[in-house]
Amino acid sequence: MTEHNALFDGAATPLALEAQNWLAHLQQRRMSPKTLEAYARDLRQFIVFEAQHLGEAISFEVMKNLKPADIRAFMAFRRRDEVGSRSLMRGLAGIRSFARHLEREGKGSAAPFSTVRSPKLARSLPKPIPADAATAMAGTQIRDGEPSQPWIVARDAAVLSLLYGAGLRISEALGIEVQNAPALTRDQITVTGKGNKTRSVPIIEPVRRAVDLYMKLCPYPLENGALFRGARGGPLSPRIIQLAMERLRGGLGLPETATPHALRHSFATHLLGGGGDLRTIQELLGHASLSSTQIYTAIDSVRLMDAYRAAHPRAR
């Protein structure tokens, strides 16, 4: 039994059994294990709360007769526990999914859940890394003197080069296979992003050189499978790159916001600041809609106003 199903152990009620069927269905659709665990946890919390709130065990009939006010009461309860808007939104999405499952099975109604609004997320601006620091992070010189083996230093630099030099997500970079390696002879690669959508990404020469150096130094045969390898030869874990970033930002005096994903933000911000076209940046990043890319124009505006306030006599 998987971990998310284990959350319903000991609860052999028809509702709990149907919850297991729902989770199994989501698993077949290849939903991530972490999301499944979160959905199961959120549903269990909802069922426990509503039983206490209504003063009766939650059955199919009770679920069908829930009022929007009952669902809002649960959201308010979670908010009092200082649960953030993003977690509340995920929880509501999972509970709605279960309600739709019950409706498809003729055991409930999703109507009460559809009328409850999702919490609004405070949209914070991405925090790019300064260009000189981002460039240094994507090189090997900054790590001179480290006890790490040269191939590991080259590997980390190659991965970070792909994040800053090509705007890849860390999962996209680590998902590259050997046969698609962006080495010196390949100036464009196809990556698989969110929702299994593929896109073509141009690879500039400094990034190709970084990957080529790593491939020459790697002690493991790179004939097939994952391009980037861990210390024991298996696929490289994202956590290793996150730890490398922590060491680098410490050496450069950067804040905790300087994460691997911040290099992707830096790619977009610096490209836009250099005159890049918004539509082109959207395609390079693999954003489904232009609105996701337009947030970088806000960053540019903020930086422009900061420079104005610092330099203009009338702004002081």
Q: Which of 39, 164, 214, 296 is catalytic?
A: 296
Architecture of domain 3-114: Orthogonal Bundle (1.10)
| Of the candidates 63, 72, 71, the residue with the CA atom closest to the CA atom of residue 100 | 63
What is the pLDDT confidence band of residue 299, given thresholds at 50, 70 and 90?
low
| Of the candidates 183, 181, 179, 176, the residue with the CA atom closest to the CA atom of residue 209 | 183
Spell out the residues 6+ positions from residue 86 whose beta carbon is closer than 8 angstroms to its own.
Answer: 121
Superfamily of structural domain 133-262: Intergrase catalytic core (1.10.443.10)
Q: Tokens representing 114? A: 């559809």
In the chain, what's the furthest Cα-to-Cα distance? 73
What is the pLDDT confidence band of residue 287, given thresholds at 50, 70 and 90?
confident
Domain positions in the chain:
3-114, 133-262
4 given a catalytic annotation: no
Q: Which of 169, 229, 249, 265 is catalytic?
A: 169
Helix (H, G, I), strand (E, B) or coil at 300: helix
- Report in angstroms the alpha-carbon separations of 176 from 3, 82, 256: 29, 39, 27
Q: Which of 78, 155, 208, 264 is catalytic?
A: 264
Q: Tokens representing 106? A: 């003729």
Cβ proximity of 298 and 128 under 8 Å: no
pLDDT reported for residue 69: 92
Q: Tell me if the pTM is above 0.85.
A: no
pLDDT tens-digit readout, 67-102: 999 999 998 998 888 788 888 888 888 899 999 999
pLDDT tens-digit readout, 128-162: 888 888 898 888 888 777 778 999 999 999 999 99
261 given a catalytic annotation: yes
Strand pairing of 198-202 and 188-192?
Answer: antiparallel
Q: Which of 104, 194, 279, 309 is catalytic?
A: 194
Is a pLDDT exceeding 50 seen at residue 42? yes
